Amino acid sequence: MLKKILSTLLVAAVGVTPLLAADKINGAGASFPAPLYYGWAFDYRKDTKNRVNYQSIGSGGGIKQITKRVVDFGASDKPLNAKKLSKGKLLQFPAVIGSIVVAFNIDGIADATLKLKNDVVADIFAGRITKWNDAAIKADNPDINLPDAKIIVVHRSDGSGTTYNFTYYLSGSSKNWKENFGTGKAIDWATGIGGKGNEGVANLIKQTPNSIGYIENAYKEKNHLSAAVLKTASGKWVQATEANFKAAAKYASWTKKDHFYAMLALQPGDTSYPIVAATFILLPIEKPKMNKKVIKFYDYAFMNGDAQAKKLGYIALPDATKKMIREYWAENIK
């Protein structure tokens, strides 16, 4: 009885209810989907009184924290294969699809006007092309007054799923990049300055004249940045638009058996934007009680969050994929 009275007094003192305290969920990881997760969490608390706290620390940090069981769920833009999931005793499912844009800050050059071939993008980030008026850039932009200025490359300084997907795209676009840099959450950059998270890279691009970097499209929109026109895998010029993101996303080949492992960059099709990626949620197998609370939140988001995803520049998962994810939950979280 005394214990119950003390508990009631403590709850009153901190100004929360037992329900709120019991239904607090902590997650951490990818900055790629962070704006959307913040919005979903806000709406979820408003509608259910339950709290979801999310820290944008990068995919590498998210994988580390869930592996060490520091948080209730991890978030990563780099999907883990079945072997790594088994080793970490983790479950995995996608939450939303986004796109990575090549953003730039060049005075007088507007959004969706600068054309950059995929191998040219690779050569810029490899430090092989160092001036904006380089012949390789001028060849595809004869009507743009490109400055005789040094290109300032901006990249991630932390372990990042955005970096993983971007370097996967570069590896598929350039033999030089594949052989000398490869694909990874963190690589040994040849040139440039580093920013933490998509937030940090976007801010550096915004503040640095003649810069170029890679960020999730939501950060481009939020910061009113300009993005380059790229080429599809089939060689057609394509702008960073919702329709072109969706054109690539439709090729996703999800399976429950592979825990939804899939890379979406460089998909076929004449309108498929070349750097599309899903972002994933990681759950510890041995914590079904908390996992049910986490999937309750994501089920809420799947039912109520598509409009917000679209508003922020993401692509909501197809209904068929959501159905498959719910089956996966039912089969793996008892």
- pLDDT by residue for the chain (334 residues), tens digit each? 434 433 433 333 333 334 344 479 999 999 999 999 999 999 999 999 999 999 999 999 999 999 999 999 999 999 999 999 999 999 999 999 999 999 999 999 999 999 999 999 999 999 999 999 999 999 999 999 999 999 999 999 999 999 999 999 999 999 999 999 999 999 999 999 999 999 999 999 999 999 999 999 999 999 999 999 999 999 999 999 999 999 999 999 999 999 999 999 999 999 999 999 999 999 999 999 999 999 999 999 999 999 999 999 999 999 999 999 999 999 999 9
pLDDT score at 5: 38
Give the per-residue pLDDT at 8: 39
The per-residue pLDDT for 3 is: 40
pLDDT at 66: 98
In the 3-class helix/strand/coil scheme, how is 165-218 assigned residue by residue? HHHHHHHHHCHHHHHHCCCCCCCCCCCCEEECHHHHHHHHHHHCCCEEEEEEHH
pTM of the model: 0.90
Radius of gyration of the chain (CA): 21
Tell me the C-alpha to C-alpha distance, in Å, between residue 328 and each of 11, 193, 209, 281: 37, 41, 47, 13
CA count, 13 A, side-chain hemisphere, 188: 3
Bridge partners (DSSP) of residue 195 are 156
Residue 317's pLDDT is: 95
Domains of the chain: 24-99+275-332 (3.40.190.10), 101-249 (3.40.190.10)
Distances (CA, A) of 91 to 104, 283, 299, 301: 37, 5, 16, 19
Map residue 229 onto helix, strand or coil: strand
Side-chain half-sphere exposure of 101, counting CA atoms within 13 A: 32
